[in-house]
Chains A and B, each alone.
Chain A
Amino acid sequence: MNFAFNRQALFTFFQLRFFRYLDKKHRSRSLHRLNHKNLFIFPTRKGWLFVAVNLVLWLLGTNYQNNLVLALAFFMAALFVTCILQTYANLSRIQIRCSGASECFAGSSVDFLFSFSTSRIAAENIDLRFKGAEEKYAGLNLDGDEEVQIKIPMPTQRRGWLKADRLLIESEYPLGLLRCWTWLRFDTEALIFPEPFSCLEPKAVNIQEEGENERPIKGGEDYSGLHQYHSGDSLKHVAWKVYARGGGMHTKEFSQSVSREIWLDLQQVQGADLEQKISGLCYWALEYERREENYGLNLPGTHIPPSRGEGHRFQVLSALACFGLEK
């Protein structure tokens, strides 16, 4: 048998137990209030050192029969107890509301948006981070009469809906002797877009089919010239300005775009597997958006007609993010 304990494994084991216990106690919500039910407190390493110094002074006082040194030792002990209360008080009565998440592509950090407020006069030096996150929001200060909006980053790996992880809220204020902390679960989810992955432009250009030319197309393409109006031409393409000048009915001719639409199609993109293909589509969606070209999305089960702009982009990216995943 292997008796050599792996410290990390042991830690993980207890943390798992601890979180299981927490989940039984607290449900996840969008609004949390910190109080004695969800705050934990324990001395820090610095705190133990302080206790050791305290003991040394007590020994000094006892051995020299010096009441004042003893008094100093007792003061330190009392200070420690006061710190328990103050450290707790600093975090208690804080309200935390999760109000959403920022836009994010898989692989980078998503910022969850929180608003903090306290019903005390102030709360000092609070550190915030998600479980498993290396980056943290350090040194948050609150004042009693204001609500503070902050973003806390959480790392992401894959696309799709991502639930906010446990949020660690901790503080060692005022003297660093004790650490008061809590793990909160919020029922907020962030939609993580696929990671853009540059690949060959998909054969996404579909020749416009007969009968589809009446579908309105927003925006304009390269204008190439005019030709005489024939019955059956779309009224939309009539050069009304020319007509108004008395130049007769003409139809504007567009060299390529009028007959061609960009479709992002899963079948047409290159990639080793589904994820890579979706990443490729994501890349090109962003690319077309940048080039200010209209594009549509064609996924099995999802059909988004070509267009562009903020709303369209979001629709396309969301569809890509969720494709093939169970909600």
Chain B
Amino acid sequence: MFRAREVNAREQLSRETLSWILFAQTLCLLPLFFYLPLWLPVFWLTVTLWRIQIFRGVWVFPNNLGKMLLAALCVGLLLLTFRGRLGVEPMVSFLICGFVLKLVEIYKRKDAIVLLYICFVALGAQFLFSQNVLAALYVFICLWGVIAALRSVHISRSHPIGKQLKQSAILIAQSLPLMLLLFIVMPRLGQLWAVPSQQSVNKTGFSDTMSPGTLSGLIKSRELAFRVTFESSEGETAQIPPPRDRYWRGLVLEYYNGESWRQRWLQQGHLAGSLDRRSATPRRWQITESTEAQTYRYSIILEPHNQHWLFAMMTPTWLDSPQVLGAGYHEDKLLATNRPVSSRVQYKVESSVGFKVDVEGLSRESLTRNLQLPNNVNPRAQDLVENWLQEGLSQQQIIDAVLRQFNQEFTYTLNPPLLGANSVDEFLFITRRGFCEHFASSFVYLMRLAKIPARVVVGYQGGEVSTVENYLMVRQSDAHAWAEVWLPGEGWTRIDPTAAVAPSRIEQGLQSAVAENEAALLGGGIGSLALAMHYWDLLGYKWHRLVLSYDDESQRSVFEKMFGGTELWRLALWFVGLTGGSLAIIFVFTFLGGKRKHKHVETRSYQIFLKKLARNGLARKTGETPTAFAERAVHHYPQWQGPIERITRLYTEIAYRNKSELQTQLAREVRQFPR
């Protein structure tokens, strides 16, 4: 017998529940600390300790004044850290402050629930910072903990941890199918209103200036820059361009001050105004089409680099970028966006390799920019070019002369010597060892001296075709710089001086181009580890393609595959059909299943015995007791007297004297009973 318990005692948090809550909160908070101000974890630890001490009865709950002081401290620290800036980090930090502070306020179940609900929001915040497979897995585990904690608030007897986890896992498992369904079919609305963006996304990749050493610093990184999936045109398999065509243009550097190259659009506002965003095709560009051109359509999944430029092969003629806000065509035949790319995005491009651009000529400003040179530096280079001009060499001949010289007398290396003030002179005539940026820089310099409009292009060259799936992985180590010169009748033409020095860099990638002792610098093992890396990358790639970039369009194609179309009536029909069908199943199970009589184990065994006898021709009459029936049966089949009597005795013992320990014996007897 139990008596009604004290209601008040139930309202209070038990030790177990509090432990679950602290555990869940810790799980949810830990990864966020990587992205947020350092004082937050300290604050959290203090408050958690405080709560534990309160529970142990050592300390007390803060009074109203104390709470206000704590809140004021938080707000003050937040203002100090973020200086009133709005954005994801301040928002999340604020949330977490409240989340943590709530901890010293909870002593009733009701408060605990608010705390656990904030856990869900904190989990959502985790996804704002990181969206890879591991982050998702971690959040999944957190969810498990949060649900276990929430459950522990709502049970009135203590469950062992194993049971608690198991029951929560059941809840999760039962929810997953519906969640998947919702994920697939729920319509994706566009951004409802502008939200503050994230600030502290890791900057990887190059910046908008290039000086010797910029790129060689990058090439040691195996980090992914972007992935490219080539789409197959009708009836053909997807074609990946040969390595020599894989030039992913990022930005054009036109201004040289003798040390570093810079792009000309220094301010963001200028860039935003100059982008052509109105249509999918570039309308302000001069493009001369050619029938020999090879057209590729591909989608790029770009890792966040917090810069304005997007990558594409020359010449992009079509762009579809619903995920990239404010993307458009830039004058320099580039793709760019007026907002820095702060999360992983996917966009689709069509490029025609072989089209010519700006054949009709350059504008005066453009001409000036692309012939600009710093004054009074590199006298020897100047002499060299003047000699060539006096010799009457044509533009093409000058280009060939430079490339020949690079090919014959220069070395491609990852550890180029440092250069002084006249860097081009030193490189051309003294050190003669350099990396792509040295070659591109000095090549463009020489071209400009020869009055050939030229510019440096920075981007990535190459990319590794994944061995496990047909896509291209472009890593930071593929960062590259090359030149573009403007030739009459040809327009802007790509010339890669590095190709002249180390052709294998272009054809086979960096690893093969550098000397063996330098290859170690690049990292990236070969063999099974490499394969494992490939699979890991494949997982990330699939994750992004299938989950992260699942949008309206993918939804439409899923609907088409599943239902044969996306018309409203079709969807409605399916919806009604599926819902009605599942309801019908539930109906059948509850109403028909409910009618089935619950049978005891011994009755089931006994009925098998009856069936066996019935097959031999002896059926039990209605109303005949087991003992009476047994007598009749023995009379009919004296040879089975033993088993019949034993079964009947066991059955009556179990059924009427509750001796359920005889259950197995009965089952065995029935099984062995001859049919």
Q: Which residues of A contact B (CB under 8 A)?
A: 35-36, 46, 49-50, 53-54, 56-57, 59-79, 81-83, 85-86, 119, 124-125, 135-141, 148-153, 172-176
Contact = CB atoms under 8 A, between A and B. Distances in A.
Nearest to A141: B157
Nearest to A150: B2
Contacts of A148: 2
Contact of B182 (A78, A82, A137, A175): A78
A125 B153 CA distance: 11
Interface of B: 1-5, 7, 10, 113-114, 117, 120-121, 123-124, 127-128, 131, 135-136, 139, 143, 147, 150-151, 153-157, 167, 171-172, 174-179, 182-183, 186, 188-193, 195, 323, 343, 547-550, 590, 594, 598
A138 B10 contact: yes
B155 A75 contact: no
Contacts of A49: 113-114, 117
A81 B177 CA distance: 11
Given A60-B128, A72-B124, A139-B157, 9 more contacts: A57-B124, A62-B190, A68-B139, A71-B183, A73-B124, A77-B178, A125-B157, A138-B7, A176-B113
B147 A85 contact: no
A183 B24 CA distance: 36
Nearest to B590: A36
21 contacts: A49-B113, A50-B117, A53-B121, A56-B121, A57-B120, A65-B190, A66-B128, A67-B131, A69-B127, A70-B183, A70-B188, A72-B124, A73-B124, A75-B176, A81-B175, A82-B174, A82-B178, A119-B598, A136-B4, A137-B5, A172-B154
A86 B124 contact: no
Given A74-B183, A153-B4, A174-B151, A68 B136 contact: yes
A256 B30 CA distance: 88
Contacts of B548: 67-68
B136 A174 contact: no
Pick the most buried of A35, A124, A149: most chain B CB atoms within 10 A of its CB. Answer: A124
Contacts of B192: 59, 62-63
Most interface-central of A50, A71, A77, A153 (chain B CB within 10 A): A71
Given A63-B193, A67-B549, A174-B171, A53 B186 contact: no
A143 to B, nearest CB: 10
In this complex, which of A73, A79, A137 has the most chain B Cβ atoms within 10 angstroms of its Cβ? Answer: A79
Contacts of B117: 49-50, 53
B7 A68 contact: no
A72 B113 contact: no
A70 B10 CA distance: 35
Nearest to B174: A82
Contacts of B190: 62, 65
A64 B125 CA distance: 11
B178 to A, nearest CB: 4
A66 B2 contact: no
Contacts of A141: 156-157
A79 B175 contact: yes
Given A86-B171, A150-B1, A66 B121 contact: no
B303 to A, nearest CB: 16
B63 to A, nearest CB: 27
Contacts of A50: 117
B187 to A, nearest CB: 10
A299 B157 CA distance: 52
Contacts of A81: 175, 178
A77 B550 contact: no
Contacts of B7: 136, 138
B136 A176 contact: no
A76 B116 CA distance: 13
A176 B174 CA distance: 17
Given A76-B120, A78-B178, A174 B167 contact: yes
A135 B6 CA distance: 9
Given A63-B193, A72-B139, A82 B175 contact: yes
Contacts of A83: 171
A151 B1 contact: yes
Nearest to A125: B156
A153 B7 CA distance: 14
Of all A-B residue pairs in the complex, the 4 with the closest CB atoms, nearest first, are A139-B156, A78-B178, A74-B182, A78-B175
Given A57-B120, A78-B182, A174-B171, A62 B2 contact: no
B165 to A, nearest CB: 13
A139 B3 CA distance: 11
